[in-house]
Amino acid sequence: MTLDQLNALSPAAAKGELERCCGSERWAAAMTGRRPYGTTDELYRSAEDMWWSLEAADWLEAFSHHPRIGERATGWAKDEQAGLGPASHSTMQALAALNREYEQRFNHVFLICATGKCADEMLSEVRRRLTNDPAPELRIAAAEQAKITRLRLEKLLTPSLESSRTV
């Protein structure tokens, strides 16, 4: 999809596409309402600004749309967690246990921008972040969501091979 195509979508369709990038309904609705975007940089700046203007409940809503690290993921999340593929059974068991511990401590899924990270890096990060206090950890998770959203917006606007071919 191109930026022009995103701008031309009906509000409902645009909101649906944007919700694929970030699961916060308020974020997607606000981003939809700010159209048209003149450039991708304008879209990315708006996404970042809108994200940080939201409340904790909106962040938690977005987090709830993510699978746990190491669980069966689909779509973009599957690609983002590709670094888990070669992980050992013991690493995956440790990730599962620490995911549960993290959720009990912070009341939300452990969120990390997993793109380009291996399982051992994610395992190390969840261990480190378990020592955080809840308020700073919520902001750290929100920053990870902002990174994920940016990557997904880039994927959304990447033309498919079919649309980039000349006839």
Contact 32, 15 (CB under 8 A): yes
Task: Name the residue with tokens 């009990």.
Answer: 104
Q: Is 79 helix (H, G, I), strand (E, B) or coil?
A: helix
CA distance between the termini of the chain: 18
Distance CA 25, CA 107 (A): 20
Catalytic residue IDs: 66
Nearest alpha carbon to residue 35 among 19, 18, 20, 23: 18
Instruction: Give the whole-angstrom CA distance, residue 153 versus residue 16.
Output: 13
